[in-house]
């Protein structure tokens, strides 16, 4: 039987970097579901489709093919045959992804793809609704969070390290807006599943966070 680990939480909680490292250590496949919403957001931005226009985005879905491949253990996202793993990380695509993720047809469109990964693999899947909607029977559910100013500071430091010119206040405002959208939409809003373990990394560095999550997984999955 395969083991599924669901990790949900707000923007910038470190879900993807922590989940990826835990997956490496445990030999699990890591699946980043946010990248799929980003792929749809990117398609809409490129094609001039309003990301809040539910009917237009729903119409566009028939033109969109999202595939996930693993290359050297790293997830790549393929949009209509082209690798867009870099482009989906652009800051303007973050809000587009949050916008399209509120559209029920978009969520339904991605659900089978997401569930398919957990059918025959040990997975760590991260997102906003993994423990509540995508994998409600996951053996391990974690709600990963940290204070919003701490998350914004980490994100700001990452952007500055990449040579980006940004203001901390803008990063914080963007993060709060995206959290608000993700928590208040009608379909599959971000919330802690009743049976999820709360992991707050406000006081932890990266190594400490990975150790915390790894220990939760091992103890819940009986490894």
Q: Which is nearer to ligand DC, 3 or 134 (CB)?
A: 134
Q: b/e for 98-111, b at 16 or more Cβ within 10 A? A: bbbbbbeebbebbe
Residue 44 C-beta: closest distance to ligand DC, Å = 13
Shortest distance, position 163 Cβ to ligand DC, whole Å: 21
Nearer to ligand DC, 177 or 219 (CB): 177
CB 24 to ligand DC: min, Å: 19
At closest approach, how far in Å is the CB of 171 from ligand DC? 13
Which of 119, 222 has the CB closer to ligand DC?
Answer: 119
The footprint of ligand DC (CB under 6 A) covers 11, 33-34, 37-38, 94, 97-98, 101, 127-130, 178, 182
Query: 102: which 2 tokens?
Result: 């509120």
Q: Which is nearer to ligand DC, 19 or 217 (CB)?
A: 19
Provide, rounded to whole angstroms, the least separation between the CB of residue 126 and ligand DC.
Answer: 7
Closer to ligand DC at the Cβ: 113 or 221? 113
């Amino acid at each position: 039987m395969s083991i599924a680990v669901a990790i949900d939480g707000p923007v910038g909680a470190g879900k993807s970097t922590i989940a990826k490292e835990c997956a490496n250590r445990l030999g699990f496949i890591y699946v980043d579901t946010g990248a799929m919403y980003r792929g749809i957001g990117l398609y809409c931005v490129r094609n001039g489709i309003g990301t809040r226009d539910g009917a237009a985005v729903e119409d566009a879905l028939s033109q969109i093919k999202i595939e996930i491949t693993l290359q050297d253990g790293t997830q790549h996202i393929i949009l209509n045959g082209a690798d867009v793993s870099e482009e989906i990380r652009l800051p303007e695509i973050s809000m587009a992804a949050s916008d399209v993720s509120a559209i029920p047809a978009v969520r339904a469109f991605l659900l089978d793809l997401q569930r398919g990964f957990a059918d025959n693999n040990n997975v760590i899947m991260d997102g906003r609704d993994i423990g509540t909607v995508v994998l409600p029977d996951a053996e391990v559910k974690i709600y990963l969070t940290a204070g919003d100013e701490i998350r914004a500071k980490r994100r700001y430091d990452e952007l500055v390290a990449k040579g980006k010119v940004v203001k901390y206040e803008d990063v914080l405002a963007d993060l709060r807006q995206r959290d608000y959208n993700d928590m208040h939409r009608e379909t599959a809003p971000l919330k802690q599943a009743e049976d999820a373990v709360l992991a707050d990394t406000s006081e932890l560095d990266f190594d400490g966070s990975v150790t915390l999550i790894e220990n939760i997984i091992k103890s819940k999955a009986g490894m």
